[in-house]
Amino acid sequence: MVGWRDAAARRASARASSARERGVRPSLQHVEGGAIEAPHALDQRREHPFEVAQAGAAVHEDEAGAGGADDPAEPATPVAENAAEVSDLAAGAADLAEVSARSSVCRACPRLVSWREEVAAGKRRAFQTQPYWGRPVAGWGDEAPRILVVGLAPAAHGGNRTGRIFTGDRSGDWLFAAMHRVGLANQAASVHSGDGLLLTGTRVVATVRCAPPANKPTPAERDACAHWLDREVGLVLSSVRAVVALGSYAWEATFGTLRRNGVAVPRPRPRFGHGAEVTTGGVTVLGCFHPSQQNTFTGKLTEGMLESVFARAKEHAGLE
Ligand code: SF4
């Protein structure tokens, strides 16, 4: 499996010239030989997130958390400042690496930008010594997946800390452990972005790429970020045979992006439920309760329930 981090490295210089050729507004102010501070502090001063992350990686390269260790962006990566710019930049992204790079420096939703950086600045006590990513979290996994997993948004101290979706929090522990049990992941642990986790035929993406307060994006934030989701889904749809939607929010987002990508969606739209399955356009969408602590602590979602959905997804995807 080749991840976006590898692809981003290979294509970094190509993106820079491509962006210039298209006349897309270049990146924000760069650091030129000045002192490098903590990631969040720099971001709040409107430095380019790539520079921010590189600074964090240089200081903390041996620590878990790994914010910026494999940054998909570079100084020339264009930055979206509003939904219209997200639409333009997403539509113009040539490949997954470019979607990852451009979305990873996005600043289109002021409330979420403030929140993700505020969380990164404050940190949780247990992670005080770690750098926080504090930026949008890109999709991750197989570049030609047969299974797509759609979540809601990065957790404040999970993906927003580690820079990888469902990584470093209890939801991710549940998710990847279940995927490991059915053979879709090479290990159960998902601790930080350099932990060696590899997915088999599977890609994971968030409906909204920035951590939202109380895990509740506004409709406007959802709609702005849908441009990134649509482009990413459009780039992988030809290989996808099953989509696991984690929760009703992701369920709605999944049918929305499938429709916008030309897949016929039943009307009325199918209702979400754990274990629900809807096949359309050669893709089966499977509903699954989100592995949130609220669901796992209360027993609403058990390990067996989660595992069985992924086993079904694997069947639909034709993965052995
Ligand atoms: S939620 Fe999406 S659109 Fe909004 S700032 Fe984050 S990456 Fe950009």
In a domain, 108, yes or no: no
What gap in Å lies between CA 181 and CA 186, rounded to an integer? 9
Contact 221, 112 (CB under 8 A): yes
Q: Are residues 312 and 185 in the same domain?
A: yes
Closest to 48 (Cα-Cα) out of 6, 131, 106: 106
Q: Quote the radius of gyration of the chain (alpha carbons, Å).
A: 18
Q: What is the mean pLDDT of residues 296-308?
A: 97
Residue with the bigger pLDDT between 67 and 298: it is 298
62: helix, strand or coil: coil
Q: What is the mean pLDDT of residues 289-317?
A: 97
Enter the tokens of residue 177.
Answer: 């452990």
Pocket test for ligand 1, best of 85, 225, 228, 229 (most atoms within 8 A of CB): 225
Atom of ligand 1 nearest to the CA of 217: 1
Q: What is the mean pLDDT of residues 125-129?
A: 90
- Residues 158-172 have pLDDT tens digits of 999 999 999 999 999
List the domain range (segments joined by +) for residue 279: 121-317
Of the CA atoms within 13 Å of residue 295, those in its CB half-sphere come to: 18
Is 196's pLDDT higher than 90? Answer: yes
In a domain, 299, yes or no: yes
Is 193's pLDDT higher than 60? Answer: yes
Instruction: Using the mean position of ligand 1's atoms as its centre, give its distance from the Cα of residue 160 in Å.
Output: 12
Residue 113's pLDDT band (cuts 50, 70, 90): very high
| Phi, psi of 267, deg, nearest 5 | -125, 135
Pocket test for ligand 1, best of 99, 115, 210, 222 (most atoms within 8 A of CB): 210
| Phi, psi of 159, deg, nearest 5 | -60, -35
Instruction: Using the mean position of ligand 1's atoms as its centre, give its distance from the Cα of residue 180 in Å.
Output: 30
In a domain, 53, yes or no: no
Instruction: Using the mean position of ligand 1's atoms as its centre, give its distance from the Cα of residue 224 in Å.
Output: 7
Q: What is the mean pLDDT of residues 81-92?
A: 98
What gap in Å lies between CA 1 and CA 144, rounded to an integer? 9
Q: Which amino acid is at 61?
A: E
CATH at residue 183: 3.40.470.10
In a domain, 203, yes or no: yes
Least confident stretch, 63-72, 213-222, 226-235, 301-310? 63-72
Q: Is 210 in the pocket of ligand 1 (CB under 6 A)?
A: yes
Residue reference for tokens 């490991």:
180
Q: What is the mean pLDDT of residues 137-156?
A: 97
Q: Are residues 310 and 186 in the same domain?
A: yes
The mean predicted confidence, pLDDT, of the chain is: 83
Is 185's pLDDT higher than 70? Answer: yes
In a domain, 200, yes or no: yes
Residue 288, beta-bridge partner list: 246
pLDDT at res. 70 = 79
What gap in Å lies between CA 240 and CA 307, rounded to an integer? 19
Highest mean pLDDT among 1-15, 37-51, 182-196: 182-196
Residue 320's pLDDT band (cuts 50, 70, 90): confident
Q: Are residues 145 and 23 in the same domain?
A: no
Is 149's pLDDT higher than 90? Answer: yes
CB within 8 Å of 131: residues ≥ 6 apart = 38, 39, 56, 57, 59, 60, 63, 65, 66, 67, 68
Residue 46's pLDDT band (cuts 50, 70, 90): very low
Enter the tokens of residue 56.
Answer: 């964090």
Residue reference for tokens 């059915």:
182
Among protein residues, the one whose CA lies closest to atom 4 of ligand 1: 109
Is 30's pLDDT higher than 80? Answer: no
| Phi, psi of 262, deg, nearest 5 | 95, 10
Pocket test for ligand 1, best of 85, 109, 152 (most atoms within 8 A of CB): 109
Q: Is 201 in the pocket of ligand 1 (CB under 6 A)?
A: no
In a domain, 288, yes or no: yes
- Region for 96 from its dihedrals, namely left if φ exceeds 0, alpha if ψ lies in -120 to 50, beta otherwise: alpha
Residue 53's pLDDT band (cuts 50, 70, 90): low
Is 210's pLDDT higher than 80? Answer: yes
Number of C-beta neighbours around residue 307 at 10 A: 17
Q: Are residues 17 and 129 in the same domain?
A: no
How many structural domains comprise the chain? 2
Q: Are residues 186 and 293 in the same domain?
A: yes
